[in-house]
Amino acid sequence: CIHLPDLGDNPDDQAVLQYALGREHAAMEQYRELAETTAPGPVRELFVFLADEETQHKAELEKLYYEIVHSGGV
């Protein structure tokens, strides 16, 4: 289970990125689980593709998070 932070009324960049990372991770895990439990074929291939897309999104957000945090932007 992924814990997503409460963004509140005025979240900072770090909180928003942490939330987005959590959402991407949750989606990645869900698609991966669906792929593992689906019979081989086009639907399974779709779930694998979607899991890979979410993995890429998460990696891009992690890079952005690192750049912002280490540039003193947050």
Judge whether 49 lies within some domain: yes
Judge whether 56 lies within some domain: yes
Judge whether 5 lies within some domain: no
Q: How many domains are contained in the chain?
A: 1
Residue 56 neighbours by CB under 8 Å, 6+ apart: none
Q: Which domain holds residue 19?
A: 13-70
Burial of 53 per CB tally in 10 Å (0-12, 13-18, 19+): middle
pLDDT digits (tens, 9 = 90+) for 4-48: 667 878 888 888 898 999 999 999 999 999 999 999 999 999 999
Q: Do residues 47 and 35 touch, judged by C-beta distance below 8 A?
A: yes
Judge whether 29 lies within some domain: yes
Judge whether 26 lies within some domain: yes
Q: What is the pTM of this model?
A: 0.80
Judge whether 8 lies within some domain: no
